[in-house]
Amino acid sequence: MCSNKLTNFILELTEITKYCKKDCLMVEFSNIIELMKDVIFGDDREKNKNFYEEVLDFVYNKKSNEWVKIQDKKVVQTFKLAVKSVPAYSDFIKKAKINPLNINSFNNFQTVPSVNKKNYLRAYKWEDLCKNKYLFSEPLIMTSTSGSTGEPFYFPRTNYIDLQSSVYHQLFIKSSKIPKNTSTLVIDCFGMGVWIGGIITYQAFKHISERGYPMTIITPGISKREIFQAIRNLGPKYNQIILCGYPPFMKDVVDEAKDNGVVWKNYNIKMIFAAESFSETFREYIANKVGIKNIYRDTMNIYGSADLGTMAEETPMSILVRRLALDNPNMYLKLFGQAKRLPTLAQYIPCFNSFDSKNGSLYCTGDNALPLVRYEIGDNGGVLTFDEVSNIFMEEGFDLKKEMKKIGIQDTLTELPFVYVFERSDFSASFYGAIMYPEYIKKGLSENSLSDYITGKFTMYTKNDEKENQYLEINIEMKPNVKSTKIISSQVLKSIHDALLFQSTEYKKLHETLGDRVYPKLVHWPNGHPTHFLSGAKQKWTKNDTK
């Protein structure tokens, strides 16, 4: 055992115990996993593997009220460590006239001013935003934001974030009942550039494969040709295939498979998505196409970011809660606070990162090379404990645990807290003052009757005609080798209009006042046209009018 590493390990634990009481190790285990692996286990993979089994047991066995206590301690600890070790945050708190000694509970933690890209990340030197001991002296991985809301920002991360992500992915493996003595092919279809999705997915599964799961990982990224080649040539040799990718891109892969020699019924497919919300109609469409028999166990959407890595994930229970809420308006309203917009519903591990919300905005707190405390990531949503969700179900005449048992997923139950996330408010279009969210249009384009003609991808923005009358333009991508006709366009327009009437009270009132003038104007584009639908790139659902 290396004495220097042991010394650092003890110092790290000493630092932790200043801010945590009796169960400090478990509260902070996310930050010392790598230290424990290096210092205690060394190259002993069996002990390493057993440690992660204990981590999973810990996640499954804690009760809702225990997670509340763990989160309370964790956010206070992260705040105090950031004040001490991050020059920029120390200055930020000082200017806000916050006394760190007064921040000792979750309630007064919520009085700490939030940070965002404008008031914090772009207001300080990049070097000052990072922990003193990490930058330029520790192994780091650099990823970038997409730049969709401004210039790219570069986030350094340590291996801790990848290890945290691997725990989330291993929860999916456990829920999906993939045994250790079977072969699995992981096809990572996220972009492999400076964006986080491709690399962190690869790293997560690499860590899992080192814990006794015989996984083979291939990283074709967004090359459809290489994805289909991997499925055709390697897929038959494995018991199951896990396809990982951005939802609209994976829909392209699913739809174009037949033309590329892939017959889905020949494979056992499981799907992991990330970076964007999608509807239950979308989930069912994908499942039906590829032959997924259990949408609860074998599909998952990850809530993550370049800022903090994997922050939360769908679980079989969260998918069930979402689907039951869709059929029960009162339950839906109690859970999500509004009756029309559909959020992603995920569960998160407070040992890794935490959420709080105010006025519909989400704030994330997580520790890494660049710690973020009450970070306003730009997403809208809220936070619920397991007990809160369970009580809402009881109020509406449902027993959540019994509902899980009905569909055979009771073994996946964890009492982790929930976070729900709506489409970002800055990714919308304003039409006569009415806010048009992308999910409204997605609903209209997800009708099965349209699936032979359109991919479901679109870009919308508000424009003005020659008389300066405002209208909503929606650019729609056609499927490969399909051309638009008046009949197809009419069907698409009706579906979008009906979806808007159903989901948006503002649009409905506009229609009552303006009549047919509120109908969007559709522009149909060939598949993959670079103007709006560059293949493999993250879809921009809204754009500014470039007229």
Predicted local distance difference test score (pLDDT) of residue 339:
64
- Return d(Cα 139, Cα 158) in angstroms, integer: 7
Would the pLDDT of 374 be above 70? yes
Residue 214 and residue 237: Cα distance in Å, rounded? 13
321 burial type by CB count under 10 A (0-12 exposed, 13-18 middle, 19+ buried)? buried
Token pair, residue 312, equals 């939360």
SS3 call for 222 = coil
Q: Residue 217 phi/psi, 5° resolution?
A: -115, 135
CA nearest to 27, candidates 47, 8, 13: 13
Tokens 């000493």 found at = 14
Nearest to 143 by CA among 156, 126, 152, 132: 156
183: left (phi over 0), alpha (psi -120 to 50) or beta: beta
Phi, psi dihedral angles at 521 (to 5 degrees): -100, 125
Element (H, E) at 356: strand 353-358
Residue 540, CA distances (Å) to 147, 189, 361, 461, 537 in order: 11, 18, 22, 11, 9
What is the three-class DSSP state of 341? coil
**Three-class DSSP labels, 332-372:** HHHHHCCCCCCCEEEECCCCCEEEEEECCEEEEEECCCCCE
Strand partners, 216: 185
Tokens, residue 131: 């922990």
C-alpha closest to that of 182 among 87, 270, 118: 270
State in Å, rounded, how far the first CA of the chain is from the last one: 66
- Using CA atoms, how far apart are residues 340 and 333, in angstroms rounded to an integer? 9
pLDDT tens digits, one per residue of 406-430: 999 999 999 999 999 986 655 677 6
Q: How much is the mean pLDDT over the chain?
A: 86
Half-sphere exposure of residue 312, counting CA atoms within 13 Å on the CB side? 23
From 26-35, 174-183, 329-338, 410-419, the region with the lowest mean pLDDT: 26-35
| Contacts of residue 420, Cβ cutoff 8 Å, sequence gap at least 6 | 335, 336, 343, 344, 345, 346, 381, 382, 383, 384
Q: Output Rg (C-alpha) for the chain, integer angstroms.
A: 24
Per residue in 182-200, pLDDT tens?
999 999 998 887 888 899 9
Give the integer Cα–Cα distance in Å for 363 and 356: 5
Percent of the chain with pLDDT over 90: 59
Average pLDDT over residues 162-184: 94
Distance between CA atoms of 392 and 351, rounded to whole angstroms?
25
Q: Give the pLDDT score at 1.
A: 39
pLDDT interval class at 132 (50, 70, 90) = confident
Token pair in block for residue 12: 């790290």
Residue recorded with tokens 């997409």: 146
The SS3 of residue 123 is coil
For the chain, which residues make up each domain, given as ranges?
Answer: 429-525
Burial class (CB within 10 angstroms; exposed 0-12, middle 13-18, buried 19+) of 387: middle
For 112, the enclosing helix (H) or strand (E) is none
pLDDT of residue 507: 83
Q: How far apart are CA 314 and CA 297, in angstroms?
A: 10
pLDDT of 5 above 80:
no
pLDDT given at position 470: 73
Cβ-contact 536, 249 below 8 angstroms:
yes
Rounded to whole angstroms, the Cα distance separating 279 from 319 reads 11
Least confident window among 98-112, 370-384, 457-471? 457-471
The CATH code of the domain at 429-525 is: 3.30.300.30
pLDDT value at residue 547 = 37
Lateral strand order in the sheet of 470-478:
454-464, 470-478, 521-525
pLDDT higher for 48 or 391?
391
